Structure 1
Amino acid sequence: MSTTDSSARTGPHIPRDPADDHTEAMARRRRAMLTEYTGADLSSVTTGFDPAAARGNIENFIGVAQVPLGVAGPLRIHGEHARGDFLIPLATTEGALVASYSRGMRLLTACGGVSTTVVEESMQRGPVFSFASAAAARDFGAWVSARFDEIKRVAEGTTRHGRLRDIDQFQVGPLRYLRLNFTTGDAAGQNLTSRAAAAACQWIAATHPAHPAYLLSGNIDTDKKHSQINTLLTRGRRVVAEAVLSRAALHDAMGVDTAELFRWRQAGATGTLLAGAAGNGAHAANGLAALFIATGQDAANVAESHASLTYTQLLDSGDYYWSVTLPALIVATCGGGTGLPTQRACLDLLGCAGPGNAGKLAEICAATVLAGEVSLAAAVIHGDWVAAHERLGRNRPGASGR
């Protein structure tokens, strides 16, 4: 029997309507099938909004995952794009997270706020071309460099917003890896760059005398996974958030002295080196994941975006300079999940909905990460870390929590 024969299929059939699959009726049919097949009670799974709004975001729609949504702040930001006092929506199931970030935000605001800067912007697709010899691959690299303007024209012909900035090249044996770097406006840009890079690669393969074979992604773009190349060369946006913590304000709010904070900072930095971690901070992924879910970002991009570099100084005044650099922050204010009702409302809350606001959202993300780093570091040093989770992070009466 052929393995493609329909009689060989096992398991239930997921109902679909080829004409219009994003309807309340189809969601109910799929939930009913799941309950019949598994016995699971799906009464708490509801659509929450017109399922048609999710077209292009999900297939086989059955409802929405309800994640608790809180607000932290206020957080004062002095940015190139984000300016003012912000209340930050965070979607999470981790007790104490919103309270911790809010505490850090209040301290930063009391110290004058956070300065934010978008340093660089770049989204990649990284094709790889194969040749018969290393020399042929090397010569191909020179050929590509000489024809950059033509490649740029072809790539940009597929998009209204993408612009090919430059092309990095790397060689291994007879393989030549290209890293096409684009700016993508207010979109995250992975789909945009894939389409543009595909057109560029087709033109290159057809035009080059060797008509080389290629893969559209040779994995040097490291999509949705952390890499050192993204830390060095940027993916998405490279954003810096920095602030000076007043010694008196830090002590009043957190019970910690700046000298103590700096001393333990050295120990933490050494531990990061020992562990080979993606960043030398505490928990950038926490705030980013919560903010990503609230604002309709692709949650898988936290894998790249959470990489962070902390730099601090104990100033002669006794105050404390603290900066966080996010070298691969991928956010959007158009496309993806940003148009879904709750996520659009959260973007509206931040003043970041729609075109022209991706830089602003990036700066808010970086400032939020800095607030979380300040709060957690102080809690660990002061001994509040475990106590706060015991008090705020346990929602199961009678459970030991051990």
Structure 2
Amino acid sequence: MSPDRIPRDADNDYTRAAAQRRREFIEQRCGVSLEHTAQYSFDPAILPGNIENFTGVVQLPLGFAGPLRVNGEHAQGDFYVPMTTTEGTLIASYSRGMGITREAGGITTTVVDDAMQRSPVFVFEDARGARDFGDWVTANFEAIRAAAEATTRSGRLRDIEQYAASRMRYLRFNFTTGDAAGQNMTGKATYAACQWIRQHYPGTISHWFLSGNMDTDKKHSQLNTLRSRGKRVIAEVTLPRQLVEQRLRTTPEAMYAARKTSQLGGLMAGAVHNGVHPANGIAAVFIATGQDEANVAESHASLVFAEVTPAGDYYYSVTLPSLIVATYGGGTGLATQKECLQVMDCYGKGKAKKLAEIIAATVLCGEISLGAAVVSEEWVSSHDELGRNRP
């Protein structure tokens, strides 16, 4: 082994001894102590499939916000929401939003779409060849679906979108994935479908790629905002005027005026969505519950709508068009992440839409709380009180 190569054990690399050898290697070469990263309570044997070169842990503070009252189709009742963050005031702000929405009767949540994509591209001699291929794909959808679904127990191919450009045909395979996030599942299933296409298409395909990037995996896109990726979930609440005035120390009219003004500012800046800070809540819950943290890039896109009702109350809704969550597989089965999911009864099969509703409701609470803090001029003072951790 090269003296500068990180140690690995070819027989069993997921042991405490293997992790210790790697810590000693890093300590010797970098001149630092890894005392705290060495402290963990789980067996490294559970980690294959989650990480390579396991060396220790990075400990992040965990707090709970709530109770959050959700009136969903999958999540119903009060929940304490685990949030992992190093940003002071964040959990306090989300808890404040949860308090006022609970007093208003809770947040109504609705999952309106559910799909995960992989988007291969096929290249032909000319545009007519690509068009004819698209017609053939439409005519042979059932056989293509059978080939894809043969690779998975829970994935189902819902439909295939088609997009034409030059001499290419981009196919966007839309799968339902059960309680898994489904990126790997859809990749494997789409690959099998494409192999079937190559074997059975009567014409000539110049070449193809499994991803033509129209799924925009782990990147925000307007297409996913319109067509959905993961769960498309909507959270909404109507706050009585009296609650807004007493608890948020502002008025529905002032909140609505600030929202209109900020939307114009976001438009001028070229913002990709009109949420206040959905990434804060989503990232905090994702890390706590073992989600793929890179999916925050897609999941944080939000569509906010608000209005003052004829009765003078404040209606507020958040649509998350690309919320990618799992309650089974990936990092959800790790020791602390599993515990956090179990707190919300969101671990295991049949719980992904429930988790999506809880996260959407959490995001709404953060949007309302921060928006009110800005309007009532409490944003800076709250961060000064709770968000300063400097020597």
Please give the range of the TM-score, normalised by the shorter of the 2 chains: over 0.9
Structure 2 counterparts to residues 283-322 of structure 1, below 5 A = 283-322=277-316
Aligned equivalent of 1:43, options 31, 35, 38: 35
Aligned equivalent of 2:245, options 230, 251, 264: 251
Code of the aligned partner of 2:272:
A
Deviation at 1:249, TM superposition (A): 0.6
Distance 2:329 2:125 in 1: 41
Deviation at 1:276, TM superposition (A): 2.0
Distance 1:184 1:160 in 2: 9
Code of the aligned partner of 2:215:
D
Aligned to 1:207: 200
Code of the aligned partner of 2:123:
S
Distance 1:278 1:72 in 2: 28
Asked if 1:225 corresponds to 2:226, the answer is no
Deviation at 1:364, TM superposition (A): 0.3
Distance 2:69 2:383 in 1: 26
Q: How many residues align?
A: 389
Code of the aligned partner of 2:239:
L
Compare 323-332 and 250-259 and name the one that shifted more. Answer: 250-259
CA contact (8 A) 1:73 1:106 kept: yes
CA shift digits 1:195-252 (9 cap, x unpaired): 0000001111111123422100000000000000000000001000000011111111
Structure 2 counterparts to residues 12-91 of structure 1, below 5 A = 12-48=4-40, 49-91=42-84
Structure 2 counterparts to residues 35-184 of structure 1, below 5 A = 35-48=27-40, 49-184=42-177
Deviation at 1:268, TM superposition (A): 1.1
Asked if 1:373 corresponds to 2:346, the answer is no
Code of the aligned partner of 1:63:
G
Aligned equivalent of 1:345, options 331, 339, 358: 339
Q: What TM-score, normalized by structure 2, do the two folds share? A: 0.98
Distance 1:58 1:221 in 2: 25
Distance 2:59 2:173 in 1: 38
Aligned equivalent of 2:376, options 359, 379, 382: 382
Deviation at 1:18, TM superposition (A): 1.4
Distance 1:210 1:147 in 2: 14
Compare 48-57 and 285-294 and name the one that shifted more. Answer: 48-57
Code of the aligned partner of 2:62:
L
Distance 1:55 1:148 in 2: 36
CA shift digits 1:68-127 (9 cap, x unpaired): 000101111000000001111100011110000000000100111100000000100000
Code of the aligned partner of 1:142:
D
CA contact (8 A) 1:27 1:47 kept: no
Compare 197-206 and 274-283 and name the one that shifted more. Answer: 274-283
Distance 1:219 1:303 in 2: 15
Code of the aligned partner of 1:70:
G
- Where structure 1 has 5 or more consecutive residues not aligned to the other structure, the ranges are 1-5, 398-402
CA contact (8 A) 1:205 1:211 kept: no
CA shift digits 1:120-142 (9 cap, x unpaired): 00100000000000010011000
CA contact (8 A) 2:124 2:204 kept: no
CA contact (8 A) 1:82 1:363 kept: yes
Distance 1:112 1:229 in 2: 34
Query: Which secondary structure does the structure 2 equivalent of 1:290 belong to?
Result: helix
RMSD of aligned C-alpha atoms? 1.0
Code of the aligned partner of 2:254:
E
Distance 2:32 2:159 in 1: 52
Distance 2:273 2:67 in 1: 26
Structure 2 counterparts to residues 231-246 of structure 1, below 5 A = 231-246=225-240
Q: What TM-score, normalized by structure 1, do the two folds share? A: 0.95
Deviation at 1:387, TM superposition (A): 1.2
CA contact (8 A) 1:24 1:47 kept: no
Deviation at 1:59, TM superposition (A): 0.2
CA contact (8 A) 2:289 2:332 kept: yes
Asked if 1:275 corresponds to 2:266, the answer is no
Asked if 1:191 corresponds to 2:184, the answer is yes
Asked if 1:360 corresponds to 2:354, the answer is yes
Query: Which secondary structure does the structure 2 equivalent of 1:187 belong to?
Result: coil
Query: Which secondary structure does the structure 1 equivalent of 2:131 belong to?
Result: helix
Deviation at 1:186, TM superposition (A): 0.2
Query: Which secondary structure does the structure 1 equivalent of 2:170 belong to?
Result: strand
Distance 1:327 1:47 in 2: 39
Deviation at 1:272, TM superposition (A): 1.8
CA shift digits 1:245-284 (9 cap, x unpaired): 1111111111010111111111011112222212101000
Query: Which secondary structure does the structure 2 equivalent of 1:60 belong to?
Result: coil
Distance 1:80 1:358 in 2: 12
* Identity rate, percent: 57
Query: Which secondary structure does the structure 1 equivalent of 2:78 belong to?
Result: strand
CA contact (8 A) 1:241 1:325 kept: yes
CA contact (8 A) 2:74 2:357 kept: yes
Code of the aligned partner of 1:336:
G
